[in-house]
Structure 1
Amino acid sequence: METTEKKDLLRGGQFIVKETKCEDVFTPEDFTEEQNMMKDAVMEFNEREIVAHRDRFENRDFAYTEECMTKAGELGFLGVAVPEEYGGLGMGFVSTVLTCDYISSGTGSFSTAFGAHTGIGTMPITLYGTEEQKQKYVPRLATGEWFGAYCLTEPGAGSDANSGKTIAALSEDGKSYKINGQKMWISNAGFCKLFIVFARLEKDKNITGFIVENDPKNGITMGEEEHKLGIRASSTRQVFFNDTVVPVENMLAGRGEGFKIAMNALNIGRIKLAAACLDSQRRIITTAVKYANERKQFDTRISDFGAIKVKIAEMSASAYAGESATYRASKDIEDRIAMREAAGNTHQEAELKGVEEYAIECSILKVAVSEDVQNCADEGIQIFGGMGFSEDTPMEAAWRDARIARIYEGTNEINRMLSVGLLVKKAMKGHVDLLGPAQKVQEELMGIPSFDTPDYSELFSEEKEIIQKLKKVFLMVAGGAVQKYGQELEAHQQLLIAAADILIEIYMAESAILRTEKNAKRFGEESQATQIAMSKLYLYHAVDIVEEKGKESIISFAEGDEQRMMLMGLRRFTKYQNYPDIVDLRKEIAEKVKEEEKYCF
Structure 2
Amino acid sequence: MSTQTEEKEILRGGQFLVKETACEDVFTLEDLNEEQRMMRESTVEFVDRELWAHWERFEQKDYAYTEQCMRKAGELGFLSIAVPEEYGGMGMGFVSTMLVCDYISGATGSYSTAFGAHTGIGTLPITLYGTEEQKKKYVPKLASGEWFGAYCLTEPGAGSDANSGKTKAVLSEDGKHYLISGQKMWISNAGFCNLFIVFARIEDDKYITGFIVENDPENGISLGDEEKKLGIHSSSTRQVFFNETKVPVENMLSERGNGFKIAMNALNVGRIKLAAACLEAQRRVTDEAVRYAGERKQFKTAIINFGAIKSKIATMATNAYVGEAACYRAAKNIEDRIALRVAAGNSHAEAELKGVEEYAIECSILKVAVSEDVQETTDEGIQIFGGMGFSADTPMESAWRDARISRIYEGTNEINRMLAVGMLVKKAMKGHVDLLGPATAVGEELLGIPSFEAPDYSELFAEEKDLIARLKKVFLMIAGKAVQTFGTELEEHQQVLMAAADILIQVYMAESAVLRAEKNAKRQGEDAQAAQIAMARLNLYEAVDIVIRRGKEAIVSFTEGDEQRMMLMGLKRFTKYTNQPNVAALRELIADKVAESGGYNFD
TM > 0.5 fold call? yes
Which residue in 2 is equivalent to 1:129? 130
Q: Is the 8 A contact 1:196 1:212 kept in 2?
A: yes
Give the aligned residue type for 2:537.
K
Which residue in 2 is equivalent to 1:24? 25
CA distance in 2, matches of 1:392, 1:7: 54
Please show how residues 21-100 of structure 1 align to structure 2 within 5 Å.
21-100=22-101
Structure 2 gaps of 5+ residues are none
- Are residue 262 (structure 1) and residue 263 (structure 2) matched? yes
- Are residue 445 (structure 1) and residue 446 (structure 2) matched? yes
CA distance in 2, matches of 1:242, 1:409: 27
How far residue 7 of structure 1 moved from its aligned partner, in angstroms, is 8.5
CA distance in 1, matches of 2:28, 2:106: 20
Please show how residues 450-465 of structure 1 align to structure 2 within 5 Å.
450-465=451-466
RMSD of the TM alignment (CA)? 1.1
Report the secondary structure of 1:549's partner residue: helix
CA distance in 2, matches of 1:166, 1:408: 21
Query: C-alpha deviations, 1:21-59, integer Å up to 9, x for none?
Result: 101000000001110011001000000110111111110
Report the secondary structure of 2:589's partner residue: helix
CA distance in 2, matches of 1:44, 1:106: 12
Which residue in 2 is equivalent to 1:362? 363
Which residue in 1 is equivalent to 2:112? 111
Determine what percentage of the aligned residue pairs are the same residue: 76
CA distance in 2, matches of 1:6, 1:123: 26
CA distance in 2, matches of 1:38, 1:596: 23
Q: Is the 8 A contact 1:7 1:24 kept in 2?
A: no
How far residue 6 of structure 1 moved from its aligned partner, in angstroms, is 8.9
Give the aligned residue type for 1:531.
Q
Which residue in 2 is equivalent to 1:557? 558
CA distance in 2, matches of 1:470, 1:592: 29
Report the secondary structure of 1:562's partner residue: helix
How far residue 174 of structure 1 moved from its aligned partner, in angstroms, is 1.0
Please show how residues 2-401 of structure 1 align to structure 2 within 5 Å.
8-401=9-402
CA distance in 2, matches of 1:316, 1:51: 20
Which residue in 2 is equivalent to 1:422? 423
Give the aligned residue type for 1:459.
L
Query: C-alpha deviations, 1:357-398, integer Å up to 9, x for none?
Result: 000000000000000000000000000000100011110000
Give the aligned residue type for 2:594.
V
How far residue 600 of structure 1 moved from its aligned partner, in angstroms, is 1.3
Give the aligned residue type for 1:363.
S
CA distance in 1, matches of 2:366, 2:283: 17
Report the secondary structure of 1:225's partner residue: coil
CA distance in 2, matches of 1:199, 1:6: 38
Query: C-alpha deviations, 1:426-485, integer Å up to 9, x for none?
Result: 000000000000000000000000000011110000000000000000000000000000
Query: C-alpha deviations, 1:102-131, integer Å up to 9, x for none?
Result: 000110000000000000000000000000
How far residue 8 of structure 1 moved from its aligned partner, in angstroms, is 2.2
Q: Is the 8 A contact 2:472 2:507 kept in 1?
A: yes
Give the aligned residue type for 1:202.
E
Report the secondary structure of 1:174's partner residue: coil
Query: Which piece of structure 1 moves more, 478-487 or 550-559?
Result: 550-559
Which residue in 2 is equivalent to 1:538? 539
Q: Is the 8 A contact 1:153 1:184 kept in 2?
A: yes
Q: Is the 8 A contact 2:7 2:340 kept in 1?
A: no
Give the aligned residue type for 1:57.
F
Which residue in 2 is equivalent to 1:477? 478
CA distance in 2, matches of 1:479, 1:365: 23
How far residue 320 of structure 1 moved from its aligned partner, in angstroms, is 0.4
| Residues 1:337 and 1:217: Cα distance change in structure 2 (over 3 Å) | same
Query: C-alpha deviations, 1:393-428, integer Å up to 9, x for none?
Result: 110000000000000110000000000000000000
Report the secondary structure of 1:542's partner residue: helix
CA distance in 2, matches of 1:479, 1:57: 48
Give the aligned residue type for 2:577.
Y
CA distance in 2, matches of 1:600, 1:394: 20
How far residue 559 of structure 1 moved from its aligned partner, in angstroms, is 1.2
CA distance in 2, matches of 1:55, 1:389: 15
Report the secondary structure of 1:172's partner residue: coil
Report the secondary structure of 2:61's partner residue: coil
Give the aligned residue type for 2:234.
A
Give the aligned residue type for 1:53.
H
Give the aligned residue type for 1:387.
M
Please show how residues 518-529 of structure 1 align to structure 2 within 5 Å.
518-529=519-530
Query: C-alpha deviations, 1:302-361, integer Å up to 9, x for none?
Result: 111111111001111111000000000000000000000111111010000000000000
The structure 1 segments of at least 4 consecutive aligned residues displaced by more than 2 Å after TM superposition are 3-8
CA distance in 2, matches of 1:505, 1:329: 15
Report the secondary structure of 2:520's partner residue: helix
**TM-score, normalised by the number of residues in structure 2:** 0.99
Q: Is the 8 A contact 1:39 1:102 kept in 2?
A: yes
How far residue 5 of structure 1 moved from its aligned partner, in angstroms, is 9.1
Q: Is the 8 A contact 2:270 2:410 kept in 1?
A: yes
| Residues 1:468 and 1:188: Cα distance change in structure 2 (over 3 Å) | same
CA distance in 2, matches of 1:229, 1:271: 24
Q: Is the 8 A contact 2:198 2:210 kept in 1?
A: yes
Query: C-alpha deviations, 1:71-127, integer Å up to 9, x for none?
Result: 000111001000000000000000000000000011000000000000000000000
Structure 1 gaps of 5+ residues are none
CA distance in 2, matches of 1:527, 1:206: 55
How far residue 596 of structure 1 moved from its aligned partner, in angstroms, is 1.4
Which residue in 2 is equivalent to 1:489? 490
Please show how residues 508-519 of structure 1 align to structure 2 within 5 Å.
508-519=509-520
Q: Is the 8 A contact 1:456 1:462 kept in 2?
A: yes
Give the aligned residue type for 1:521.
K
Give the aligned residue type for 1:313.
A
How many residues are paired up?
Answer: 599
Give the aligned residue type for 1:210.
F
CA distance in 1, matches of 2:242, 2:487: 43
Give the aligned residue type for 1:76.
G
CA distance in 2, matches of 1:17, 1:439: 12
Report the secondary structure of 1:391's partner residue: coil
Report the secondary structure of 1:526's partner residue: coil
Report the secondary structure of 1:452's partner residue: coil
CA distance in 2, matches of 1:576, 1:54: 45
Q: Is the 8 A contact 1:80 1:95 kept in 2?
A: yes
Which residue in 2 is equivalent to 1:572? 573
Query: Which piece of structure 1 moves more, 591-600 or 241-250?
Result: 591-600
Q: Is the 8 A contact 2:531 2:589 kept in 1?
A: yes
Q: Is the 8 A contact 2:117 2:188 kept in 1?
A: yes
CA distance in 2, matches of 1:411, 1:332: 24
Q: Is the 8 A contact 1:498 1:552 kept in 2?
A: yes
CA distance in 2, matches of 1:46, 1:308: 28
Give the aligned residue type for 2:377.
C
Which residue in 2 is equivalent to 1:599? 600
Q: Is the 8 A contact 1:505 1:542 kept in 2?
A: yes
How far residue 300 of structure 1 moved from its aligned partner, in angstroms, is 1.0
